[in-house]
Amino acid sequence: MQPRFVIVPAVPIEKESFRMGSRYYAATVCGGFDIYDNQAKERLKPSYPSRTAAQLQCQRLNEEVE
């Protein structure tokens, strides 16, 4: 069975954008990691800067549910 809470990469943060011809390009930086609730089908806030921090919180949430 799939756990209720899982770790997913956060949405990248746009750092800067520039135009080359008729196209726009965006330089992005990793936004960290989010915890996704499989039951409610939504990302939980806050985002975590490291995967390790997100894993610890994810484990706590899954233990509370059981």
Residue type, 37: D
> In 3D, which of 26, 42, 25, 43 has the Cα closest to residue 34?
43
pLDDT per residue over 24-59, tens digit each?
A: 888 887 789 999 999 999 999 888 999 999 999 999
Rounded to the nearest 5°, which phi and psi values hold at 22? -100, 5
Domain total of the chain: 1
pTM (2 decimals)?
Answer: 0.74
Residue 34: CB atoms within 10 A of its CB come to 19
- Note down the domain range covering 58: 5-65
DSSP label at residue 4: S
Cα-based angle 2, 55, 40 (whole degrees, multiple of 5): 45
